[in-house]
Amino acid sequence: PELAANAVMVNSEEMPAGSEIVKGYDFNQGVDHHKLLQSYKYSGFQATNFGLAVEEINKMIKRRKEPIPEDKIENCRDGFPIIKNNCTIFLGYTSNMASCGVRETIRFLVEHSLVDCIVTTAGGIEEDFIKCLAPTYIGDFALPGRQLRDKG
């Protein structure tokens, strides 16, 4: 246990002044499109895949608003499974999503029942735990990994 703790819980050095913290947009503050787009500077973002994801999300939202078909209701005997709407939405994410600035968006989706089931890895839980201990900073792929690890 001590060897593992020492490998994982390395004491961190102070970040240089001006280091930018990873943080996603907080939808609970309302939707300010300008601030939303500005927030992408502080989170992992890929425009094309984002656009495709928006299309899929819109399809799911539209489907949820449609009435539940009779055959689905008839196949639901003895109250199991409970059908709440016409589209069950699964949210799957990898561990890096918790620390890259999308964590706040995931929280919002869960908080407001916009997803029905979350599928993640143990790393997703670990990253969330790490994010609770201290902020995550914007990095660069060119930074020397060995030196960063030694600094905690």
Per-residue pLDDT of the chain (152 residues; tens, 9 = 90+): 788 887 778 888 898 998 888 888 899 999 998 888 778 777 766 766 777 788 888 899 999 999 888 877 776 666 667 778 888 899 998 888 877 878 889 999 999 989 999 998 887 777 778 878 888 888 888 888 888 888 87
Rg (CA), the chain: 20
State the pTM of this model: 0.63
Q: What is the pLDDT of residue 79?
A: 63
Q: What is the pLDDT of residue 110?
A: 93
Q: What is the pLDDT of residue 45?
A: 60
Cβ atoms within 10 Å, residue 124: 21
What is the tally of helices (H) and strands (E) in the chain?
Answer: 8, 2
Residues in Cβ contact with 64 at an 8 Å cutoff, skipping those fewer than 6 apart: 85, 86, 87, 89
The rounded distance, in Å, linking the Cα atoms of 74 and 8 is: 51
Q: Looking up tokens 């994982």, which residue turns up? A: 8
| Residue 131 · residue 102 · CB < 8 Å | no
